[in-house]
Structure 1
Amino acid sequence: MKNTEPRYLRHHFLIAMPQMADSNFAQTLIYLVEHGAEGAMGLIVNRPSGLNLAEVLEQLRPDDEYSPLCRSLPIFSGGPVHTDRGFVLHPAGPSFLATLELGALSLSTSQDVLFSIADGLGPERHLIALGYAGWEAGQLDAELAGNAWLTCPVDEEILFELPYDRRLDAAARSLGVDLSLLSPQAGHA
């Protein structure tokens, strides 16, 4: 008897296939925060927004001074939904005012995590994003069936240690796939 239970991919990477036509997601690597019958939510982890932490903090507390370290910490474009909302993905551990535990990782959405990072109090490993990627019920599943994405379990080294411009290829290589060898034409074998 074939298992017809859906396979949910929380705590996985979505790797955009070369034929991805949607410019919001072309050449992206997405960390899936949630995936279930109600839909999915993730953060693009390889597309810097051009902003840094100091520029964001200056909007929150304009009279404070921010270190050169804050000026070197990039803010990522997490996705096209609610681009005015901030998310900090970090290893589980310290909880902040608004923290969702995701197992090995946590997602914090309150300002206190940003000020903690700016003050050098951590979390030491983090990814800060504005906006998120969202899918309605069944939408991501249809995209997966249409070969728009590859998936693999999250590798925290790829997420937190690699430069952003190497993350997509590294995630694909973890599956033994070289994206440069794939055709941008969609199809099914």
Structure 2
Amino acid sequence: MQSLQNFGLKNHFLLAMPHLEDPNFAGSLSYLCDHDENGTMGVIVNRPLELTLDALFEQLELKGDDSPHRQAPVYYGGPAHKDRGFILHRGDSTPWDSSIQVAEDIALTTSMDILQALAAGTGPEQFLVCLGCAGWEAGQLEQELLDNAWLTVDGRTDILFDVPAEQRLGAAAGILGVDLNLMTREAGHS
């Protein structure tokens, strides 16, 4: 049996179990962008804020009046670095200033140049702009998995970019054949 320490969770969804009551993560679907011996980093992808890109462009003094992306929601990405933007997007050949390739077709960019491109109406066509991120120290997520706080499943671009935010958690659970609404709020071990 493969150790959780060696199990790569990059490009996976992390589904909060119904009994997870931490207000930062209850009912959340996170997409994991990095997982190694130093810890885990991801963004919550199913919690739109009452903030649109138009308002964000205005706050950042970016001219976005003609952008087709103005009404796109901004998401609560997690409790860490809440003042920073994390843009999860379909990978493209654009060399953004600060970007990591998460999967063959998914990248995470944290540099201002991608927001400038979105304000100008260019940039990636499919994206999620998140304020903040989620992070776990080395071994922390593995312990939480052993404690049955989370389910994991391979990440999918259709769920990230084509499914409405309020349906993403259920869609990810559906990959496993699980209906989270039918699960007990009590944690258990077998």
* TM above 0.5: yes
Q: What residue in structure 2 maps to residue 15 of structure 1?
A: 15
Q: What residue in structure 1 maps to residue 87 of structure 2?
A: 88
Q: What residue in structure 2 maps to residue 158 of structure 1?
A: 159
Q: Alignment RMSD, CA only?
A: 1.5
Q: What residue in structure 1 maps to residue 108 of structure 2?
A: 107
Task: Output the CA distance in 1 between the equivalents of 2:100 and 2:127.
Answer: 14
Which whole-Å deviations, capped at 9, do the CAs of 1:53-76 have from their partners, x for residues lacking one?
1111112216x3524744411000
Amino acid at match of 2:139: G
Q: What residue in structure 2 maps to residue 28 of structure 1?
A: 28
Q: Does 1:61 align with 2:61?
A: yes
User: Greater CA deviation, 67-76 or 91-100?
Assistant: 67-76
What are the residue-to-residue correspondences of 1:32-181 with 2, within 5 Å? 32-61=32-61, 64=63, 66-67=65-66, 69-93=68-92, 94-104=94-104, 105-181=106-182
Amino acid at match of 1:80: P
Task: Output the CA distance in 2 between the equivalents of 1:3 and 1:178.
Answer: 27
Amino acid at match of 2:145: L
Task: Output the CA distance in 2 between the equivalents of 1:171 and 1:65.
Answer: 33
SS of alignment partner, residue 34 of structure 1: strand
Task: Output the CA distance in 2 between the equivalents of 1:152 and 1:177.
Answer: 11
The share of aligned pairs that are identical, in percent, is 46
Which whole-Å deviations, capped at 9, do the CAs of 1:33-67 have from their partners, x for residues lacking one?
111111100100000121111111112216x3524
Gaps of 5+ in 2: none
Aligned residues: 187
Amino acid at match of 1:12: H
Gaps of 5+ in 1: none
Shift of 1:98: 1.3
Amino acid at match of 2:100: L
User: Greater CA deviation, 103-112 or 45-54?
Assistant: 103-112
Amino acid at match of 1:167: R
Evaluate the alpha carbon distance shift between residue 172 and residue 20 of structure 1 in structure 2; reply closer, same or farther with a 3 A threshold: same
Amino acid at match of 2:44: I
Task: Output the CA distance in 2 between the equivalents of 1:92 and 1:110.
Answer: 15
